[in-house]
Amino acid sequence: MSTVPHFINGERVEGEGELPVFNPATGEVVAKVPVPSPAMVSDVVEMAIEASTRWRSSTLSSRTNILFAFRHLLVEHSDELARIITREHGKTHADAKGEVARGIENVEYACGLTEHLKGGFSSQVADGVDVHSVREPVGVVAAITPFNFPIMVPLWMTANALASGNVVILKPSERDPSVSLRVAELLSEAGLPAGVFNVLHGNSATVKLLLEHPGIDAVSFVGSTPVARFIYETGTRNGKRVQALGGAKNHMVVLPDADLDIAADAAINAGYGSAGERCMAISVLVAVGGVADPLIEKITERLDRLNVGAGDDPSSDFGPVITREHRDRIIDYVATATDDDITVVRDGTGLAERPGFFVGPCLLDGVRPGTRAYDDEIFGPVLGVARVRDYAEAVGLVNSNPYGNGVAIFTRDGHAARAFSRDVHVGMIGVNVPIPVPIATYSFGGWKNSLFGHSHIYGPEGFAFYTRAKVITTRWPQPSESQIDLGFPTTR
Ligand code: NAD
């Protein structure tokens, strides 16, 4: 049984494998992950601080060259990277390639670092006085990432953090850790100096040690809401800047005028793609007025044609979920739905008899606040239908939900779509787009329990998060202009 090594200071570092990594399509353990000792965590942070003193002084052109080379290597290796993801995560190869491509976008954005790190200059703000601003790296960044996007989310953080002159310690998910090792190797091959990007495996205890270490300056976290809240509170209590993105319950509102075939296709893609294990997956379909029955009919026709199987089988539409425990948790939501007067229109839980961690598509009609299937993030191939009378009730439902990651509206009415995008308290909105993940030139972030801290991730807010501002006020007076004046300096 192989153990996935750490990648520290430019080298693979072996550890004793403690945590099992499964192939979710077979249920077999395919590797083990080490958990570092507290002394090792501390040594890695000290090494990172040392590396940071050099990397922060690297030229912008050298960083740009490395990121361009890294981008080319990611493109060249995208098939291999996708295969590693499929083996440990379970998503289909096509889906994994999509994740790699969306990760590469962030590297491409970071390649424009000379523009993103440009400061400001104001000449003659007072007589003989100029002001300019620069942005400097924060230092050492801990990047703590979830299982569901094992390359894209690390690249959300890493590309901009490195471009800004920071050193990164990535603590990837222990469920699918192998691809982060290849990312580290490709960064080295691209010319990144040793110690600037490190992969330190581990579990919640490892994360806690990073959060408490005084040498960590900033923490980027993506994962579930309870952990995001803990990371934010612990990290900020320890004096770090923290961005902590949490879970979600994303609604897709279908107005009576929508094209129901388009809406049904979108609901299938966004509700069941990647077995529903996307933070931007649609989990609640909000059927307005009379659309519920015809829409459910169109969705069930499509569901019955879906093929659930191993991610490396090209005929699979979606693969297994991440672990046996998670599969059983999803099954329990479906099994208990009728207790809440919810109708189980399609029950895919019979696939649990297969080896591996499979759940087929499930469709629940009548989910509403106060029912488990509505209130909790299930994170599986389970779509709930909520029936509402009108637009106002739909917006009320979306806004009273404690999460605010993504939301979509399906309509042919531009006026209603515009009103909706202004009315909802959600960070990312799709108009006839069910998974509105912003491109890398915008930043990604939800509201409410989907984000702790004010900073969205990647894009312009990423560069702002990974840098600190300095403002320099300059005057070159002639001796004749110098005088004693104890008044507070003004520009007047
Ligand atoms: P998770 O919260 O269980 O784990 C995320 C990371 O935190 C992992 O690296 C894990 O080792 C670590 N961790 C777990 N428990 C911890 C604890 N008690 N203390 C400290 N660290 C801990 O999340 P997951 O199951 O890997 O990922 C799925 C979740 O992530 C879902 O809730 C999903 O919505 C969310 N997610 C959100 C976004 C977003 O952008 N908002 C994106 C992807 C995933």
Are residues 317 and 266 located together in one domain of the fold? yes
**269 contacts 322 by C-beta, under 8 angstroms:** no
Are residues 286 and 344 located together in one domain of the fold? yes
Are residues 241 and 277 located together in one domain of the fold? no
User: pLDDT per residue over 145-164, tens digit each?
Assistant: 999 999 999 999 999 999 99
Instruction: Pick the range with the lowest mean pLDDT from 1-5, 159-163, 181-185.
Output: 1-5
Non-local CB neighbours of 1 within 8 Å, separated by 6+ positions: 17, 29, 31, 32
| Atom 22 (ligand 1) nearest CA | 204
Whether residue 207 has its Cβ less than 6 Å from ligand 1: yes
Are residues 125 and 152 located together in one domain of the fold? yes
Would you name the residues annotated as active-site residues? 279
Final residue before a domain boundary, out of 380, 398, 431: 431
Q: Which residue matches tokens 């290597």?
A: 73
Measured between alpha carbons, how far is 27 from 212 in angstroms, rounded to an integer?
Answer: 35
| CA–centroid distance, residue 363 to ligand 1 (Å) | 25
Assigned domain for 481 exists:
no
Non-local CB neighbours of 286 within 8 Å, separated by 6+ positions: 251, 252, 253, 254, 386, 388, 394, 397, 398
Assigned domain for 492 exists:
no
Question: Nearest to residue 187, comparing CAs of 101, 66, 62, 51?
Answer: 66
Q: 87: pLDDT confidence band, cut at 50, 70 and 90?
A: very high
Mutate to test the pocket of ligand 1, among 175, 179, 279, 447 (most ligand atoms within 8 A of CB): 279
Are residues 15 and 32 located together in one domain of the fold? yes
> What is the average per-residue pLDDT within 74-84?
98
| Atom 38 (ligand 1) nearest CA | 279
Are residues 214 and 350 located together in one domain of the fold? no
Measured between alpha carbons, how far is 469 from 384 in angstroms, rounded to an integer?
Answer: 46
**406 contacts 248 by C-beta, under 8 angstroms:** yes
The DSSP-derived string for 56-104 is TTS-HHHHHHHHHHHHHHHHHTHHHHHHHHHHHH---HHHHHHHHHHHH
pLDDT for 1 equals 81
- Residue 279: pLDDT over 80: yes
Beta-bridge partners for 474: 130
Q: Of all residues in the chain, what percent carry a pLDDT higher than 70?
A: 100
pTM of the model: 0.97
Assigned domain for 373 exists:
yes
40: containing domain: 6-246+450-472
pLDDT for 315 equals 98
Are residues 165 and 267 located together in one domain of the fold? no
Are residues 238 and 257 located together in one domain of the fold? no
Q: 323: pLDDT confidence band, cut at 50, 70 and 90?
A: very high
| CA–centroid distance, residue 478 to ligand 1 (Å) | 59
| Atom 34 (ligand 1) nearest CA | 247
Report the DSSP pairing between strands 406-410 and 467-475: unpaired
Whether residue 452 has its Cβ less than 6 Å from ligand 1: no
Question: Nearest to residue 274, comparing CAs of 404, 94, 467?
Answer: 94
Q: How many degrees, rounded to 5, is the angle at CA 451 between CA 448 and CA 457?
A: 140
pLDDT for 419 equals 98
| CA–centroid distance, residue 1 to ligand 1 (Å) | 26
Report the DSSP pairing between strands 467-475 and 129-137: antiparallel
Q: Which atom of ligand 1 is nearest to the CA of 174?
A: 11
Are residues 112 and 27 located together in one domain of the fold? yes
Q: 489: pLDDT confidence band, cut at 50, 70 and 90?
A: confident
Question: Nearest to residue 410, comparing CAs of 287, 290, 324?
Answer: 287
Measured between alpha carbons, how far is 68 from 114 in angstroms, rounded to an integer?
Answer: 13
Assigned domain for 436 exists:
no
The one-letter amino acid code at 241 reads R
Whether residue 202 has its Cβ less than 6 Å from ligand 1: no
Q: How many H helices and E strands in the chain?
A: 16, 22
Overall number of domains in the chain = 2
Question: Nearest to residue 323, comparing CAs of 379, 246, 383, 250?
Answer: 379
Whether residue 99 has its Cβ less than 6 Å from ligand 1: no
Assigned domain for 327 exists:
yes
Mutate to test the pocket of ligand 1, among 19, 85, 99, 148 (most ligand atoms within 8 A of CB): 148
Non-local CB neighbours of 51 within 8 Å, separated by 6+ positions: 9, 167, 193, 194, 195, 196
477: phi then psi, degrees, rounded to nearest 5: -75, 150
Q: Is residue 377 helix, strand or coil? A: coil
Dihedral, 98, 101, 105, 107 alpha carbons, nearest 10: 140
pLDDT for 187 equals 99
Assigned domain for 438 exists:
no
Q: 277: pLDDT confidence band, cut at 50, 70 and 90?
A: very high
Q: 491: pLDDT confidence band, cut at 50, 70 and 90?
A: confident
| Atom 26 (ligand 1) nearest CA | 146
Are residues 352 and 289 located together in one domain of the fold? yes
Q: How many degrees, rounded to 5, is the angle at CA 219 between CA 213 and CA 222?
A: 130
Here the CATH number for the domain that contains residue 70 is 3.40.605.10
Whether residue 21 has its Cβ less than 6 Å from ligand 1: no
| CA–centroid distance, residue 371 to ligand 1 (Å) | 24
Distances (CA, A) of 395 to 153, 386, 410, 413: 30, 12, 13, 16
> What is the average per-residue pLDDT within 193-206?
98
Are residues 109 and 228 located together in one domain of the fold? yes
Beta-bridge partners for 383: 363
Q: How many degrees, rounded to 5, is the angle at CA 163 between CA 162 and CA 169?
A: 10
Assigned domain for 477 exists:
no
Measured between alpha carbons, how far is 460 from 378 in angstroms, rounded to an integer?
Answer: 31
Q: Which residue matches tokens 């960070």?
A: 427
Mutate to test the pocket of ligand 1, among 102, 173, 461 (most ligand atoms within 8 A of CB): 173
Beta-bridge partners for 199: 7, 170
Whether residue 323 has its Cβ less than 6 Å from ligand 1: no
Are residues 281 and 301 located together in one domain of the fold? yes
Q: 492: pLDDT confidence band, cut at 50, 70 and 90?
A: confident
Whether residue 145 has its Cβ less than 6 Å from ligand 1: yes
| Atom 27 (ligand 1) nearest CA | 146
Q: Of all residues in the chain, what percent carry a pLDDT higher than 90?
A: 98
Whether residue 316 has its Cβ less than 6 Å from ligand 1: no
Assigned domain for 440 exists:
no
pLDDT for 39 equals 98
| CA–centroid distance, residue 222 to ligand 1 (Å) | 6
Here the CATH number for the domain that contains residue 344 is 3.40.309.10
